[in-house]
């Protein structure tokens, strides 16, 4: 699959570069570019604390990768923090690439009922046994985004039942039209007397001797409630930024894949384009957090907002783009040099071969004339005698 992607130059779209395929002990191995650490390891090192600007950078690059895959009709099938690698966290912070295409498939191969993705990142349509497409990767990317936003997994489980339980807590029940079309609706759900589907209780699903295991590290029971926890009271611009970030997350984990945001639309979302900076803030009057969640008394004051740093951010982005262009130019130059050396080597080889052939021909002529001379001399000696 990776070789197929290289034919479409997708290594330019934040996807791992494949250089070659070699056989070692009769086993095929891939020669790929050297990368740094996974996003998972980075989040462990930094205790899951990620700035909104860095979340934007990662999601933008991954949306670029998924848009490229969608363009060639490929589903990655295993987007996780483990499969997002940093190129160089010191010199190129948060420049990332998508790796591990072992689960990848063409869209034409997607069949309802197929098991795909890591449980914590598994899209609703996979668990329900519905038809699926590239949208499963957007769901998984939304789960990655949730980890970067909150510092923990949204759906920490290894079973579909618990995952569906957590998803329903955050998103509400699945639409009934999806339940009617689902192949696996009876596995985790039960049909009521009025014809509506509901999730089975833990006792109904596990039986009397077993129970669900809840490893969730958050207390909010909807993404809207989670949004309230993230709102800034003093910095209106950052409050807008967090609101748009949460709105994007909600669109990425929609129950219905047809309503889920596409990779191209992610790239045009206000959180990515930062269009909210130039618009009138809709959060001039922020609702106060619930008393139960309020550890200290927070009040709005007349403190001036910090100057807009969008120009600095744009300059940084331009510098990053210039660095990337320089790297690409260097790589291209290196390829040209290698190609030139190869041609020169082949030219020298051909020249050497030609000279050898010419020398051989010359030696053959000399041997022939020497033989003729000896014959002639012998003949003259016979005549004289």
- Is 78 noted as a catalytic residue in this protein? yes
Q: What is the DSSP string of 153-216?
A: -SS--SSHHHHHHHHHHHH-SPPHHHHHH-TTHHHHEEE-TTS-EEEPPHHHHH-TT-------
CA–CA distance, 140 with 118 (Å, rounded to integer): 9
Annotated catalytic residue within 11, 20, 54, 78: 78
CA–CA distance, 92 with 94 (Å, rounded to integer): 6
Residue 321 CB-density burial (10 A; 0-12 exposed, 13-18 middle, 19+ buried): exposed
CA–CA distance, 51 with 58 (Å, rounded to integer): 11
CA–CA distance, 188 with 128 (Å, rounded to integer): 9
Long-range contacts: 207-214, Cβ < 8 Å, 24+?
A: 212/161, 212/162, 212/165, 213/157, 213/162, 214/162
- Do 212 and 206 touch, CB atoms closer than 8 A? yes
Cβ contacts of 85 within 8 Å, gap of 6 or more? 16, 35, 36, 37, 38, 39, 96, 97, 98, 99
CA–CA distance, 55 with 45 (Å, rounded to integer): 16
137-172 per-residue burial string, b: 16 or more CB within 10 A, e: under 16 = bbbbbbbbbbbbbbeebbbbbeebbbbbbbbbbbee
State the DSSP code for 260: S
The single residue listed with the structure tokens 């395929």 is 21
The single residue listed with the structure tokens 């009397």 is 208
* Nearest partner of 92 among 326, 309, 324, judged by Cα: 324
CA–CA distance, 216 with 153 (Å, rounded to integer): 8
Three-class DSSP category at 253? coil
Q: What is the set of active-site residues?
A: 78
């Amino acid at each position: 699959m990776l070789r197929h992607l290289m034919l479409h130059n997708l290594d330019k779209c934040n996807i791992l570069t494949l250089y070659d395929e070699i056989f070692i002990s009769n086993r095929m191995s891939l020669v790929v570019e050297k990368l740094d650490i996974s996003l998972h390891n980075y989040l462990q090192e930094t205790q899951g604390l990620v700035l909104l600007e860095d979340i934007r950078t990662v999601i933008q690059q991954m949306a670029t990768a998924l848009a490229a895959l969608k363009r060639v009709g490929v589903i990655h099938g295993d987007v996780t923090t483990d499969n997002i690698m940093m190129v160089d966290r010191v010199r190129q912070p948060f420049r990332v690439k998508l790796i591990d295409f072992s689960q990848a498939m063409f869209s034409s191969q997607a069949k309802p009922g197929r098991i795909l993705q890591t449980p914590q990142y598994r899209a609703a349509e996979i668990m329900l046994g519905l038809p699926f497409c590239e949208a499963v990767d957007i769901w998984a990317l939304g789960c990655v985004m949730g980890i970067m936003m909150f510092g923990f997994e949204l759906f920490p489980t290894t079973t579909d039942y618990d995952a569906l339980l957590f998803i329903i807590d955050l998103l509400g029940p699945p639409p009934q039209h999806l339940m009617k079309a689902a192949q696996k609706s009876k596995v985790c759900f039960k049909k009521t007397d009025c014809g509506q589907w509901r999730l089975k209780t833990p006792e109904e699903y596990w039986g009397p001797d077993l129970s669900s295991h809840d490893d969730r590290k958050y207390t909010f029971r909807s993404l809207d409630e989670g949004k309230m926890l993230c709102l800034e009271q003093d910095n209106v611009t950052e409050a807008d930024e967090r609101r748009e970030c949460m709105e994007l997350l909600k669109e990425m984990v929609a129950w219905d894949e047809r309503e889920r945001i596409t990779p191209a639309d992610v790239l045009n979302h206000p959180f990515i384009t930062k269009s909210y900076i130039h618009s009138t803030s809709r959060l001039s009057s922020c609702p106060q957090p619930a008393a139960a969640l309020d550890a200290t008394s927070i009040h709005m004051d007349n403190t001036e907002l910090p100057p807009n740093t969008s120009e600095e951010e744009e300059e940084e982005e331009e510098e990053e783009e210039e660095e990337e262009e320089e790297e690409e130019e260097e790589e291209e130059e290196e390829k040209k040099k290698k190609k030139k050396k190869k041609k020169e080597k082949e030219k020298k080889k051909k020249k050497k071969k030609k000279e050898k052939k010419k020398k051989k021909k010359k030696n053959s002529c000399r041997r022939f004339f020497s033989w003729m001379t000896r014959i002639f001399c012998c003949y003259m000696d016979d005549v004289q005698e």
